Chain A
Amino acid sequence: MKNIIDIEIVVPNQTRYLGMIGKIGENLVRELDRFKGDRETLANHLNVVLTEGVVNAIKHANAADPDKDIRIHISASDQDICIKVYDCGKGFDLTTVPEPCFEADRLGEKGRGIFIIRSLMDSVEYKKTNSGNILEMKKKLG
């Protein structure tokens, strides 16, 4: 029986939609019938990485231009979840985002978003293509 769920979301480049997008991620976890792990934790983690990924695209890649769009694609199966956040801005270089140094700069007000995504997902990539940029976040469920 086919069991892959694909969800495509397009919203304006504005933070007001974060709650709705996070909730879609949480609701998706409820449909993963064969997932044996902690469902509530996974739902929260998807909410978190969707929020962080979309905020990153809104503020950094799309330079907070409210007339641009953010596109999100979520693909889920029993084996894994793949989230792609597309932006059409100038993008950024994921490899230059430093790991926060908790001891030296534990009171920094920014710079935790990518760290949080990296902590909660198995792989994180940022790809630049001719039609825009893609933040790709994957998590194995098996």
Chain B
Amino acid sequence: MQLKIETNRAVKIIYVKEERLDAHNSDELKAELNSLFENGMKDLLVDLKEVRFIDSSGLGVLVSGFKNASARQGSFKLSGLQSQVKSMFELTRLHRVFDIFQTVDDALESY
């Protein structure tokens, strides 16, 4: 899975550079998120701008990240949702769980 990771002050930004986030590659994102948490990071921002498709496995990994951050009194935010990805969050009511921003810059302003 193609990921790009940047640091902005205490926030780790994970850019998912894939067209799909699904059962085939979502475990790799989960492993990367877990590694960041284990290394002491607790404020994560995942940018999905390039993701055109997400399935229930991809959603599950993001929920896992949210729970992990919450358990560490941290935050887990999302940015750049394309319309079809956003509709999957709405279908599963997960848009009420996550803080979702248009862009990475918008999200960074919220910290």
Contacts and interface: CB of A to CB of B under 8 A. Distances in A.
A59 interface: yes
B60 A51 contact: no
Contacts of B55: 18, 48, 51-52, 55, 113, 116
B24 A19 contact: yes
A19 B22 contact: yes
B60 A44 contact: no
A52 B60 CA distance: 13
Interface in B24-69: 24, 53, 55-57, 59-61, 63-64, 66-67
A121 to B, nearest CB: 13
A107 B68 CA distance: 11
A98 interface: no
Given A47-B53, A116-B56, A119-B91, A109 B64 contact: yes
A109 B22 contact: no
A66 to B, nearest CB: 13
User: How large, as a class, is the contact surface on chain B?
Assistant: 20 to 34
Majority secondary structure of chain B interface residues (helix, strand, loop or mixed): helix
A106 interface: yes
A44 B92 contact: no
A15 B97 contact: no
B70 to A, nearest CB: 9
B42 to A, nearest CB: 17
B108 interface: no
Given A15-B23, A44-B84, A107-B63, A55 B57 contact: yes
Interface of A: 15-16, 18-19, 22, 40-41, 44, 47-48, 51-52, 55, 58-59, 100, 102, 106-110, 112-113, 115-116, 119-120
12 contacts: A15-B24, A40-B84, A41-B87, A48-B55, A51-B23, A58-B23, A59-B23, A106-B93, A107-B97, A112-B56, A113-B55, A116-B92
Interface of B: 19-20, 22-24, 53, 55-57, 59-61, 63-64, 66-67, 84, 87-88, 91-94, 96-97
Given A16-B24, A55-B23, A115-B92, 15 more contacts: A15-B23, A18-B55, A19-B20, A19-B22, A48-B88, A51-B23, A51-B55, A52-B56, A100-B92, A106-B97, A107-B63, A110-B60, A112-B59, A112-B92, A113-B57
